């Protein structure tokens, strides 16, 4: 009996570590695809039209996300099973709306703070490249579709859907943190990584508290759309307008957060809190995360991604080969176990 129990525990831990690795491999793959796309854009940006640029952005999103969505669908659980929770874990429409507004308010407030830090401490500009080339309503609609709707759906499907859904059964809080870490790693700059981590945590909490995948998509889309429209307003009307919208959105975000906390109720949020002692990850879960080869790879590649020249190209290529070999080995091991 004890031998069977020990074997079950070993298999449980082994399966958890493999799923953590798979999540990290997804981040590494997306980093590599984004890096290649960035090289192509720098070579061709001056000779392609705005529409061609939008098509390229859409293709890049699909190419970087689709392979791992397929892998998760085949090797873990069906995607529908990963993103849909039982009815008893879902809140009503009022709760859905309250947490969406709360999530949007928190994301806006954090974006305001990280943007100030980025501007005044690191002397880097924030904003989207797309907003610089929007000149009319049709181009704005195309921009909202390409950098607002599609990334919100695809990224949430992978990070808060597949990655969180596959890890949630081991520990809810761990699934939120790991998905947020990997989500932050696929962003290009330090300031955007910091914001992406905190927004990833918020999106994870919204997903857990509401029980709806659509809630996280809604918050993600609203955040992307706000960034795009404020940039467009600055280009079409004047830089002063963009600055006003920036400070106004930060203030509104803080106000929305306070109002939603009051309306939802501090007691309700405490009751739902996944930071309770019972929900904290076990020492084994933390060890599996820290010792994950995939997590180590994504951290190394993220550090390399801020380097320049031939070294980054070579390192990215080596990392991708390692990741693909590791995935092949893990998938083969999964089939053997079955």
Tell me the CB-side half-sphere exposure of residue 6, using CA atoms within 13 A.
Answer: 3
d(CA 286, CA 293): 14
pLDDT tens for 137-157 read 777 788 888 888 999 999 999
The pLDDT score that the predictor gives to residue 153 is 93
Rounded Cα gap, residues 78 and 65, in angstroms: 16
| pTM metric for this prediction | 0.82
Q: What is the pLDDT of residues 171-193, one digit of tens each?
A: 888 889 899 988 988 876 777 88
The pLDDT assigned to 235 comes to 66
What is the per-residue pLDDT for 303? Answer: 67
Residue 156 has a pLDDT of 93
Backbone angles phi, psi at 135, to 5 degrees: -120, -15
Quickly count: other Cβ atoms within 10 Å of residue 300's Cβ.
13
Q: What are the CA-CA distances from residue 189 to residues 79, 124, 196, 309 (Å)?
A: 30, 9, 10, 17
What's the pLDDT score for residue 1? Answer: 55
Of 109, 220, 114, 99, nearest to 159 by C-alpha is: 220
- Residues lower than pLDDT 70 in the chain: 1-10, 45-47, 119-133, 188, 234-236, 238-239, 241-242, 265-285, 287-288, 290-291, 293-294, 297-298, 301-338
User: 170 near 187, Cβ under 8 Å?
Assistant: no
Q: How far is CA 77 from the centre of its chain?
A: 20
- Contact at 8 Å (CB) between 99 and 264? yes
pLDDT of residue 221: 95
H helix runs in the chain, sequence order: 2-44, 50-75, 79-83, 93-120, 137-144, 150-156, 164-167, 172-185, 190-210, 213-236, 239-264, 266-272, 283-290, 293-304, 310-337
Which residue reads 């991708």 in tokens? 320
């Amino acid at each position: 009996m004890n031998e069977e129990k020990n074997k079950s525990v070993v298999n449980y831990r082994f399966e958890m570590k493999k799923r953590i690795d798979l999540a990290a491999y997804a981040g590494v793959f997306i980093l590599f695809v984004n890096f290649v796309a960035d090289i192509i854009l720098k070579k061709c940006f001056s000779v392609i039209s705005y529409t061609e640029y939008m098509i390229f952005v859409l293709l890049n999103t699909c190419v970087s996300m689709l392979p791992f969505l397929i892998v998760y669908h085949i090797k873990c659980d069906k995607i529908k099973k990963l993103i849909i929770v039982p009815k008893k874990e879902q809140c009503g429409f009022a709760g859905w709306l309250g947490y969406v507004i709360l999530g949007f308010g928190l994301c806006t407030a954090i974006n305001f703070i990280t943007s100030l830090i980025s501007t005044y401490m690191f002397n880097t500009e924030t904003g989207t490249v797309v907003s610089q080339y929007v000149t009319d309503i049709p181009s704005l609609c195309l921009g909202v579709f390409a950098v607002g709707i599609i990334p919100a759906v695809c990224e949430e499907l992978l990070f808060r859907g597949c990655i969180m859904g596959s890890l949630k059964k081991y520990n809810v809080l761990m699934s939120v943190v790991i998905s947020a870490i990997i989500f932050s790693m696929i962003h290009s700059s330090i300031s955007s990584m910091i914001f992406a981590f905190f927004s990833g945590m918020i999106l994870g909490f919204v997903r857990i508290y509401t029980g709806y995948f659509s809630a996280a998509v809604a918050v993600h889309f609203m955040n992307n759309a706000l960034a795009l429209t404020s940039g467009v307003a600055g280009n079409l009307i004047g830089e002063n307008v963009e600055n006003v919208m920036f400070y106004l959105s930060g203030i509104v975000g803080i106000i929305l957060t306070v109002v939603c906390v009051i309306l939802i109720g501090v007691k309700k949020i405490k009751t739902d809190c996944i930071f309770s002692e019972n929900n904290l990850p076990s020492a084994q879960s933390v060890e599996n995360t820290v010792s994950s080869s995939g997590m180590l790879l994504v951290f190394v590649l993220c550090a390399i991604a801020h380097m320049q020249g031939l070294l980054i190209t070579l390192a990215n290529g080596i990392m991708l080969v390692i990741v693909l070999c590791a995935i092949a080995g893990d998938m083969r091991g999964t089939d053997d176990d079955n």
